[in-house]
Amino acid sequence: MKSLISLMTGVAALAFTSVALGDDPPPPPPPPPPTGIDEVNGLILIDVSGSMAEMHTTTRTKLETALEEAKNRILAWDAEDPGKPKEYALWAFDSSFGATERWVEHVWDFPATKAQVLASLGYTSTGAAQPSTLDPVFTPTSSTPLAGAGCQVGSYLVASVDANGADVIPQTGYEWKKEKSPGVRAQIKRRLYIGTDGLENATPTTGTGSECGGTTSTQTYENFEPSSWQYKLRNKLLTGNPTINTTLNSLLTVEVDLIFKNYISGLSGGSSEQNYSTGTPYTTEPTLNQAVEFYGGLAANTLGGKFRTVTVDASGAITSRRPGDVDYSGCVGNADYTEMMQWYGQAVSPSHPHSYWADLNGDGWVDYLDYLILYNHWGDGGTC
């Protein structure tokens, strides 16, 4: 069992390292929401790499969970901004789709309707399951070109900027300068949902489709190295340009569900992304902490973004919670620390269902890795 003293020592070292690595200023906060939204565009991006075929619960795969969460997101978006026109797109990504399309299969492009996208996800327009309409592209196959696919999304949803911050129309951009009347630019709210169980492990660093390819950074969100795919993809989704470290009033909202397994009902924990990786220059299995760093930072750096871990609770049911929220209260604070310390250093056990709560990274143990998640999200969600 790890001692609390060694735990605190590790955290102190982590905090010192974070400060010492501050070479670049952090990206500025997202712009304030504009007034007068004229239209809403929502793009669903689903990971269909091989590891998504793994069982998430005893009855369904991680991909099936992602499809249901995407359905829920579509219904939520449709209920927001009442009276405003809404258009949708649905893409799947996997390295088998090839560099020409930037590792993406375009199931639907804008201006698809809610009903069309839901049908391809395997649901009716009201959200009832309808497996007969599920598009066959949703078959887990190969590896995870997140950077390549994400760059393609950035080209569709975000206007690019040049070194001086000037607005540039990308060739593949979707209606970026659409006018609601002659000479009056429409205000289009853009939303991106990503359903995945891991991080980048396949986008090449040179050649076609490599715009956001790079090495895997292990640094904090503010300190991603310019050579890393995290740096490039973050910038592409914020500015339309992988080398510009700033934000633009793109109206982009990024929402991510990270889907992973717990040690429940005989399921093995963790991920087997290493079985589908193309190898160097990528890590064989990005850690949960790296995923929280990238996805959590990106969501926080966009307009109303959200990052959730989608796990399995002790009863085997799908559940979502804020990273670090051990007791599912909606915020991260003293109660979560107290709950975690009851199980610290122990393996999770069906005899103690709350031990699963404290196992934040789903690896079957309550340890330092779980504490890092708690520590990094301390205070999230307000006072509790």
The confidence score (pLDDT) of residue 91 equals: 97
Task: Check whether residue 111 and residue 152 sit in a common domain.
Answer: yes
The confidence score (pLDDT) of residue 65 equals: 92
Q: pLDDT tens digits, residue range 19-45?
A: 333 445 555 555 555 567 888 999 999
Task: Check whether residue 243 and residue 374 sit in a common domain.
Answer: no
Task: Check whether residue 277 and residue 336 sit in a common domain.
Answer: no
Strand partners, 191: 42, 253
- Is 355 buried (19+), middle (13-18) or exposed (0-12) by CB count in 10 A? buried
Q: Which two tokens stand for residue 80?
A: 């927001």
CA distances from 117 to 67, 91, 185 (A): 11, 10, 27
Q: pLDDT tens digits, residue range 371-381?
A: 878 887 888 87
Check residue 379 and report its DSSP letter. T
Higher pLDDT, 250 or 72: 72
- State the total domains in the chain: 2
Domain of 358, in residue numbers: 328-378
Domain final position from 321, 347, 367 = 321
Q: pLDDT tens digits, residue range 200-223?
A: 888 999 998 899 999 988 888 889
Question: Does 212 fall in a domain?
Answer: yes
Task: Say which range, 3-17, 73-87, 109-123, 338-352, has the weakest mean pLDDT.
Answer: 3-17
Residues with Cβ within 8 Å of 20's Cβ and at least 6 positions away in sequence, in order, are none
Domain final position from 294, 321, 348 = 321
Q: Rank 74-78, 152-156, 295-299, 366-370 by mean pLDDT and report only the highest.
A: 74-78
Q: pLDDT tens digits, residue range 293-315?
A: 888 888 878 877 888 777 766 56
Task: Say which range, 51-65, 87-101, 273-287, has the weakest mean pLDDT.
Answer: 273-287
Q: What is the CATH number of the domain that holds 157?
A: 3.40.50.410
- SS3 state of residue 48: coil
Q: pLDDT tens digits, residue range 39-64?
A: 899 999 999 999 899 888 778 899 99
Question: Does 9 fall in a domain?
Answer: no
Question: Does 2 fall in a domain?
Answer: no
The confidence score (pLDDT) of residue 269 equals: 40
Higher pLDDT, 335 or 177: 335
Task: Check whether residue 241 and residue 362 sit in a common domain.
Answer: no
